[in-house]
Homo-oligomer: A and B are copies of this chain.
Amino acid sequence: MRIVGNRFSFFGMVLWFAPLGLAAQTSPVEAVRAYRVAHGPAILKGFAELLSIPNVARDSVGINRNAVYIRDALRELGVQSELLRLPGAPPIVYGELDVPGATRTLGIYVHYDGQPVDSSRWTNAPWAPTLYTRAIEDGGTRRDFPGDGESIDPEWRIYARSAGDDKAPIGALLPVLRAFREAGISPTSNIRFFFDGEEEAGSPRLRQYLETNRDRLDGIDVWLFFDGPVHQSRRPLLTFGVRGVTGMQVTIYGSIRPLHSGHYGNWAPVPGQMLAELLASMKDRDGNVLVEGFYDTVEPLGELERAALAALPDYDDELKRELGLFRTEGSGASLAERLLLPSLTVRGLASANVGALARNIIPATATAALGIRLVKANDPEHMKDLVEAHIRRQGYHIVREDPNREIRLRYPRIAKVTRSGGYAAARTPMNLPIVRQVVRAMRRVAGDDLVVIPTLGGSLPLYLFTDVMAKPALILPIANHDDNQHAADENLRIANLWYGIDLYAALLTMPVDDGAIEPPSSGPRR
């Protein structure tokens, strides 16, 4: 199915089979869907309640309210839950659900914190969840939350910080657990819930949390992530990895003070011009990075990954129309292919002012914020070293602090480089038995519409799970791609919340192994 509102089509829905002996005439997915249809307004109301609690990581009061809310909701549904704490850090909401006879343990990672907000850019207050008949930019109008028994249009959207990223999986999970209890459905795996409270702040204590609680978490067979958007075509998505992320800021120096552009223009060096030349030297006009060695450590794809890539739907043209793009970087290579390479992006530029505030000066400095995305086997420090070496090859002396006059007089070109932290990419191999089980469960919901891609373009500290904890990790996003993640007017399309409910119902009740081999790749191209 595409997650297209009213037009659900369950090609893949086959007879459900219950190895743990549940007595049921309908499949758990169908039972949960019946519960959802009957309780839609209450589900939305519960989700809105969660969304109304401010959740910026550095707001410890709001963060704790979220954590307690989620812990208590899990407890009420029979999950043994508690808050794991490290001093000065948002708590982890941790929960255990053990199922008699289960031979498999799923780890469910969600983060309950959200990006900081610039309220002035929001149509409504970020933590006052608001319902619209469709996307605001598509002419959606505000409406009340539905009353009991009122029907719900899956094209509605709920606007609030974290509606998509990353409270949507919580908004889907809790009703599923409630439906299970009501319908007498038992999961087919043990489950460990692990809800992070500072992902948007870079999860600085995540490694410590994992290592401190290794005994609790070591039995997990596969970690499931629900972060990020589904495919731009609105088709369900499964992905096996993420890119890593790092970056640096580069400041170029001209004169020790801003100069009158008349009295000195044509003689004093112009930092904005020098920065432009430096940035232009880093990439060709087609977007390929010219920094020496930038692509050297990229790990080649395996056979399954290449097959998955070949089976991907060709959605780029539609995406280009949506984004207003005539051309893309990389000589027309597909988005999915381009995400398998490290990237170097000018994410910000600044030198004095433009517009009404522009002055007739030669600014004293010009600064670029550079983002670097990494693919498997790229080391964050090594990649920044390569960019620094490139800057040096352009004739620059690199400093870590603003240079004083003595240093300025010693070098013709000076760049201050401030390196960001960041972390490596991660990718789970596609040929593991547990992967096959998850793919099969997803196909039960998504049918041939499942899109399988080797990696997401975005970043999560997935390497902590795949490399430090040494477990497979998969990402099964729920939110719509046009959810304004990280930005103002973040929203979740109701159809995507419904999809999340279906998805959890299928995942938590998936058979242990049915022996069939299903290569993890997308359904037929069309």
Contacts and interface: CB of A to CB of B under 8 A. Distances in A.
Interface of A: 228-229, 242-243, 245, 249, 254-273, 275-281, 283, 285, 287, 320-330, 333, 335, 338-339, 341-343, 345-355, 357-363, 366-369, 371, 373, 403, 405, 408-413, 456-459, 481, 485-487
Nearest to A335: B267
A412 B271 CA distance: 28
A266 B341 contact: yes
B360 A352 contact: no
Contact of A362 (B324, B342, B345, B413): B345
Nearest to A341: B266
A459 B338 CA distance: 49
Nearest to A375: B266
Contact of A348 (B324, B358, B413): B358
Nearest to A265: B343
Contact of A350 (B277, B333, B354, B458): B354
Nearest to A336: B267
A184 to B, nearest CB: 40
Looking at A265, A351, A456, the one whose CB has the most chain B CB atoms below 10 A away is A265
Given A243-B262, A268-B329, 19 more contacts: A249-B354, A255-B323, A256-B324, A261-B345, A264-B335, A265-B345, A266-B339, A267-B330, A267-B339, A269-B328, A269-B329, A272-B346, A273-B283, A275-B276, A326-B409, A347-B362, A350-B353, A353-B369, A360-B459
A355 B268 contact: no
Given A324-B405, A412-B327, A485-B260, A276 B267 contact: no
Given A262-B243, A279-B276, A457-B262, A358 B269 contact: no
Contacts of A281: 280
A266 B324 contact: no
A267 B329 contact: yes
B259 A486 contact: no
A277 B406 CA distance: 32
A361 B347 contact: yes
A327 B413 CA distance: 8
Q: Which 7 pairs show the lowest CB-CB distances between chains A and B?
A: A272-B346, A262-B458, A276-B279, A324-B408, A280-B280, A266-B343, A256-B324
B360 A371 contact: yes
A162 B335 CA distance: 56
B457 A265 contact: yes
Nearest to A397: B326
B255 A325 contact: yes
A352 B411 CA distance: 30
Given A328-B268, A347-B359, A347-B362, A229 B263 contact: yes
A379 to B, nearest CB: 18
Which of A259, A266, A342, A352 gathers the greatest number of chain B CB atoms within 10 Å? A266
A349 B351 contact: yes
A326 B410 contact: yes
A329 B262 contact: no
B358 A249 contact: yes
9 contacts: A245-B262, A261-B343, A265-B371, A265-B373, A267-B338, A272-B348, A348-B353, A348-B357, A353-B369
Nearest to A405: B324
A199 B363 CA distance: 22
Nearest to A418: B355
A287 to B, nearest CB: 7
B270 A276 contact: no
B321 A261 contact: no
A320 B410 CA distance: 12
A276 B458 contact: no
Given A266-B287, A276-B275, A354 B339 contact: no
A249 B272 CA distance: 14
Nearest to A273: B346
A324 B255 contact: yes
Contacts of A361: 347, 486
Nearest to A325: B255
A351 to B, nearest CB: 4
**Which of A229, A259, A272, A362 has the largest number of chain B CB atoms within 10 A?**
A272
Given A249-B358, A280-B277, A287-B269, A324 B373 contact: no
